[in-house]
Amino acid sequence: MDPSDQKHFLAVDYVVFALLLAASVGIGLYYALSGGRQRTTQEFLMADRSMRCLPVSLSLIASFQSAVAIIGVPAEIYTHGTQYWFIGCAYILGLLIPAHVFIPLLYRLKLSSAYQYLELRFSKVVRICGTLTFIFQMVIYMGVCVYTPAFALNAATGFQLWGTVLVTGLVCTLYTTLGGLKAVIWTDVFQTLVMFAGQIAVIIVGVERTGGMSEVWRKVKEGNRLSGLDLNPDPTERHTFWTLGVGGVFLMLSLYGVNQAQVQRYLSARTEKEAVRSCYMVFPSLQLALGLSCIMGLVMFARYCGEDFSEKLGSSSRDAMVIYFVMDMLQGLPGLPGLFVACLFSAALSTISSAFNSLATVTMEDLIKPHFPSMSEERATLLSKALAASYGLLCLAMAYLTHLLGDSVLLVALKIFGVVGGPILGLFCLGMFFPWANSIGAVAGLGAGLVGAFWVGIGSIVTRSSGAKRLPPRCHVNTTAVFQTAIGNATSRPTGLHRFYSLSYMWYAGFSCLIVILVGLTVSFLTGPMKEGEATPGTVYPLLGKLLFFLPEHMKKKVCCVTPLRPAIPSPQGPGSDKESNGAARGQHTPSQQQILLPDADSRVIEHETAV
């Protein structure tokens, strides 16, 4: 980029940015020195299971709302119009289902890691496979998250790229390691507020400098950026109502239903009711975040009318252009460029810290503790801290990998969620909704789902099939129609494998989830399905029973899946206590089941029962 065009930071901007970092480390220090001083894994990894719903809900939206969304969504809207906004429809089912299916089931099992569920329902092997898949997903996603704000800032202001990556990674590692989950949740709260403040500031100043609301509206309409509901059923069409509103539900479920980062927050809530309520409270905040990003994209469009800055910026990246726009708008308003940079880094830090803490949790709970059951609490906590710190360093290495990829960051993040998150979602659905599934089926299903998802994901990268229609970079309607028909005629429909590779990435999660369930059930029936009542009590959700609510009780009993979800109390005379086998897992899961379900279950069970 032309150096004369680079925007400069004033001292006050540096101060605002430094305050963000200092406040985050301060919160980390506070929780290192207060409460139980992070001397138990219960406190370090589970925040003593004492959180209230407001911090939990703000923390829930922070987990997957990173600088990727702050920059990527406006870039998407600027280039392709407002169709992406319809992902907001997926938030409805995408949050209602976790609140009423996943949270009650997981919370009542009193887990520490979501993958403990897989051992209770299937076997140790399934648990380890699930954990490793999750680790893989979060480690690559983390790379994108650290890299994005640093890259954007470097492109627009000449901030040193790798210096910024290093500072982000280190600050985050520091407060995560010092203050544990309590610090992670409370920094999330603070950082989410900074994130909203930064976006709102840019929009207000941007509208003002573009000539007011009506002027922005006029230009956006002229440029044809307001997309209507696209009901095209073609699954290769990148963004339509179906891919976003329906495919997006699976994406949301994989993130808000079964991802450890989120499950850990639900489990840290003091009661099940507070966990459910926090999930409900995510809805308005997530809509606000989406709305603000979309509006920012529209204001940016009104400002530049789709102008192409590739040459000026020395990169064709729309992501870099968003930062250019912001710096252009906020120039000459002391402190505001600093606020926006703080907003970007808040979004990034809150995501990375959730990743570090959840990765430390699963590594500890799923991979280490089962092999060293007699490890002292002190050692376990120290080891957890070391793990959080090592994932911090690994994340820096992953940032370098993202650097080599060089694609639209939103697209990369959504593909990772779909390709790796989808099969994990499938694994949980298989266990929760299908009592016949056994552990051989689960492993086979997960493997098939991963192969299917990687096949289409890598295929699409290699063949560069994206299904994207770029809107004409002009401000006037009449050229638009001509341009679009021209594009429509020029691009021929892909055939055969190419058509498979051009499957919209919004379907990846749903597609791979379905493969896991289908293959999982087939293999289970071939190898001897489990019977209802054989699985550990409380691990199967009575889906069919609830869907057939209109049938009389005795008829429901005839079909399967009707055993109601119950609080997980090891009652001596309760039906299906530990005399039942658990497919191939018999004997293996029993000790850990007791270890998980026995301690102080009673006090919490009382809470559930009053809550229900």
- What is the binding site for Na ion (CB under 5 A)? 62, 65-66, 347, 350-351
CB 485 → ligand PAU: shortest distance, Å?
A: 31
Binds 512: which of Na ion, ligand PAU, none (CB < 5-8 Å by kind): none
* Residues 29, 35, 39, 41, Cα dihedral to 10°: -100
CA 435 → CA 178, 426, 455, distances in Å? Answer: 42, 14, 29
Say if residues 430 and 509 touch (Cβ distance below 8 Å): no
User: CA 295, 249, 243, 126 torsion: positive or negative?
Assistant: positive
CB closer to ligand PAU, 64 vs 501: 64
Residue 144's H or E segment, with its range, is: helix 124-157
Binds 350: which of Na ion, ligand PAU, none (CB < 5-8 Å by kind): Na ion
CB closer to ligand PAU, 1 vs 61: 61
User: In sequence order, what are the residues at sequence separation of 6 or more whose Cβ sits closer than 8 angstroms to the Cβ of residue 239?
Assistant: 80, 83, 84, 86, 230, 504, 506
User: In sequence order, what are the residues at sequence separation of 6 or more whose Cβ sits closer than 8 angstroms to the Cβ of residue 501?
Assistant: 456, 459, 460, 462, 463, 465, 494
Binds 68: which of Na ion, ligand PAU, none (CB < 5-8 Å by kind): ligand PAU
- Token code pair at residue 470: 């770029």
Binds 413: which of Na ion, ligand PAU, none (CB < 5-8 Å by kind): ligand PAU
CB 65 → ligand PAU: shortest distance, Å?
A: 4
Q: Which residues bind ligand PAU (CB under 6 A)?
A: 64-66, 68-69, 87, 145, 255, 286, 351, 410, 413
CB closer to ligand PAU, 86 vs 434: 86
CB 89 → ligand PAU: shortest distance, Å?
A: 12
CB 290 → ligand PAU: shortest distance, Å?
A: 7
CB closer to ligand PAU, 192 vs 539: 192
Say if residues 309 and 399 touch (Cβ distance below 8 Å): no
CB closer to ligand PAU, 351 vs 512: 351
Binds 323: which of Na ion, ligand PAU, none (CB < 5-8 Å by kind): none
Q: How many CA atoms lie within 13 A of 476 on its CB side?
A: 3
CB closer to ligand PAU, 140 vs 364: 140
Chain-centre distance of CA 229, in angstroms? 25
Binds 432: which of Na ion, ligand PAU, none (CB < 5-8 Å by kind): none
CB closer to Na ion, 82 vs 192: 192
CA separation for the pair 98, 429 (Å, rounded): 12
Q: Which of 593, 591, 584, 258 is nearest to 438 (CA)?
A: 584
CB closer to ligand PAU, 409 vs 444: 409
Name the region of 224 (left: φ>0; alpha: ψ -120 to 50; beta: rest). Answer: left
CB 168 → ligand PAU: shortest distance, Å?
A: 14
CB 185 → Na ion: shortest distance, Å?
A: 12
CB closer to ligand PAU, 203 vs 286: 286
Say if residues 244 and 76 touch (Cβ distance below 8 Å): no
For the packed helices 161-210 and 336-362, what is the interaxial angle rounded to 10 degrees?
Answer: 130
Q: How many CA atoms lie within 13 A of 329 on its CB side?
A: 31
The SS3 of residue 269 is: strand
CB closer to ligand PAU, 68 vs 427: 68
Binds 62: which of Na ion, ligand PAU, none (CB < 5-8 Å by kind): Na ion
CB 64 → ligand PAU: shortest distance, Å?
A: 4
CB 80 → Na ion: shortest distance, Å?
A: 24
Binds 504: which of Na ion, ligand PAU, none (CB < 5-8 Å by kind): none
Binds 47: which of ligand PAU, Na ion, none (CB < 5-8 Å by kind): none
The SS3 of residue 213 is: helix
CB 601 → ligand PAU: shortest distance, Å?
A: 32
- What's the distance, Cα to Cα, between the start and end of the chain in Å? 60
CA separation for the pair 194, 335 (Å, rounded): 13
Binds 69: which of ligand PAU, Na ion, none (CB < 5-8 Å by kind): ligand PAU
CB 343 → ligand PAU: shortest distance, Å?
A: 13
